[in-house]
A and B are shown apart, each in its own frame.
Chain A
């Protein structure tokens, strides 16, 4: 089994993460994103390379001397080594990797268009990248005239047409409405939905809708519409009043929690009655957030959200709400506690709404190995209120990151240049990191805010990402040991 080993060749372990979970050894192989469980013998063979490259004989001798492999015949150790070589965990030293493709064949069909229906917002959240100090968007065109802050019905329909035209071969596509505060431009959303549904019906395709809102402008009519059209809904809410109102304020300085709470409850109630798609709370964590577990329970158990996604704030490093590397243990502790709750629920077959972990577990189980950190510029584009295209919604109207317009089409040269620059093969700093398959260097927008270069890896977040990936691996191992059927949802039928 496996390829024969050439005795004189020197072998070395490839980048991987070893975690001992409940006395079992789990390995995450970064070259492939494979997750393996090793017994003491295989652990001894792989462990033989811990202190550096070795020839086959030297490695087998070191393995045989390890406590876990006492009394194991040499032939058995050699077979195990061959298997580790075949699985890519041990490879000949200096083996050249085949050249990786940098950009997939173009034109790459879109799956999602994020439509910025308005730049305006009725809140003035202190940390907002759209309106705050870290805003990238140019509010003026290059000729100095002001940009239109609200999308017209016509531009919204053209955006929908653009998505249909540039998603060839995709049976299912998604229109995501974003802002500003999306509900400030409700008539445009209604018109875009009607147009998209007409086009989808004519072409025999499925179109999904999603939207992010601060919930301040939800009315019964809007709630009915969102539920009727099975929107995926994300509500921006930062926890109970104390946490939420710290940053999510009206321009007067007054917090928004009291206003949105009854509206959210009505939405959740209606959506549950109609068995709509899960509704998520989108929480921006800042340095001041203290009790993340309490916050999560408030949102799920007391308010009734189906899912909660937690996002550490994106900010330049001198903002007083920004996390610094020295603060990351706070996040690790908080996310770890929620992960413990998740593992307990999943082991018993119960739902848990910590969507960050659901997403990570899906990636770990399928073995996602990302060449780019996200779909921006690839399957996803953002469109501005005036119809200009950006890598994603966070980059629209930021001159240098514009990549065409809905009327003139995608600037394929700029798109390819960006994807090439953002490819993992160009992020040399990431190549020795075990978390590379799930991280791939991190958010372009965060990199731009921090370093001025959207294609730079987010090195300030490495400790956090590695700790979070460790939490994911441990959670995966624990659920897999107790309730492996939990992951059947991520299997593909063959």
Chain B
């Protein structure tokens, strides 16, 4: 660093940890995020502050559309592995029949 001097112990520690190790955790900050199931976490919105869905900034079906289109699995859909294995059974093609899925109440 040519214009900043880390002075106290904490500053020197951070400078060493953060600035000397620049090549970690970059995936999310790249302009074109990679596709795939495991590299991305998209925070979806299942309910607005009133508990409904009418005020959501992204439509609820966006989660399903992303899943269908780009092959990644938003964390906010019900857990199909153990608790809600049949949740998506009624929905063969999310773009067409996403309304056949429903909210779950764990």
Contact = CB atoms under 8 A, between A and B. Distances in A.
B7 A37 contact: yes
Contact of A369 (B6, B7, B10, B22): B10
Interface string A390-423: 0000000000000000000000000000000000
Contacts of A29: 11
A39 interface: yes
A288 B91 CA distance: 78
Nearest to A96: B43
Interface string B22-56: 10011001010000000000000000000000000
Contacts of B26: 3-4
A36 B3 CA distance: 10
A188 B6 CA distance: 50
B6 A6 contact: no
B29 A3 contact: yes
A36 B18 contact: no
Interface stretch (A249-257, A341-349, A359-367): A359-367
Contact of A366 (B6, B10, B14): B10
A369 B8 CA distance: 13
B12 to A, nearest CB: 8
Nearest to B15: A87
Q: Say which size band chain A's interface belongs to.
A: 35 or more
A2 interface: yes
B103 interface: no
B22 A367 contact: no
B4 A87 contact: yes
Nearest to B25: A3
A476 B7 CA distance: 10
Contact of B3 (A2, A6, A34, A41): A41
B22 A87 contact: no
A430 interface: no
A38 B29 CA distance: 27
Nearest to A87: B14
A83 interface: yes
Contacts of A39: 3-4
Contacts of B25: 3
Contacts of B5: 36-38
Contacts of A35: 6-8, 10-11
Identify which of B3, B14, B18 gathers the most chain A CB atoms within 10 Å of its CB.
B3
Interface string A2-27: 11101000000000000000000010
Given A3-B29, A37-B4, A38-B3, A367 B18 contact: no
Nearest to A88: B14
A491 interface: yes
Contacts of A369: 10
Contacts of A34: 6, 8, 10-11, 14
Contacts of A36: 4-7, 11
A487 to B, nearest CB: 8
Most chain A C-beta atoms within 10 Å of own C-beta, residue among B5, B8, B13: B8
A32 B9 contact: no
B1 interface: yes
A39 B3 CA distance: 5
A42 B4 contact: yes
A480 interface: yes
B81 interface: no
Given A87-B14, A88-B14, A3 B8 contact: no
Contacts of A83: 1, 3-4, 19
A338 B88 CA distance: 72
Contact of A2 (B2, B7, B19): B19
Which of the listed residues A33, A35, A39 has the most CB atoms from chain B within 10 Å of its own CB?
Answer: A35
Nearest to B31: A6
Interface in A159-189: none
Contacts of B9: 365-367, 490-492
Given A3-B26, A38-B4, A367-B9, A32 B14 contact: yes
Given A3-B26, A42-B3, A87 B8 contact: no
Interface of B: 1-11, 13-15, 18-19, 22, 25-26, 29, 31
Closest 8 CB pairs of A and B: A367-B10, A34-B11, A42-B3, A35-B8, A37-B5, A41-B3, A86-B18, A35-B7
Given A34-B8, A34-B14, A367-B8, 15 more contacts: A4-B29, A26-B7, A33-B10, A35-B8, A35-B10, A36-B6, A39-B3, A83-B4, A86-B19, A87-B11, A87-B14, A365-B8, A366-B8, A367-B9, A492-B9
19 contacts: A3-B29, A6-B31, A26-B7, A29-B11, A35-B7, A36-B5, A36-B7, A38-B3, A39-B4, A42-B3, A45-B3, A80-B4, A86-B18, A87-B4, A367-B8, A367-B10, A367-B13, A369-B10, A491-B9
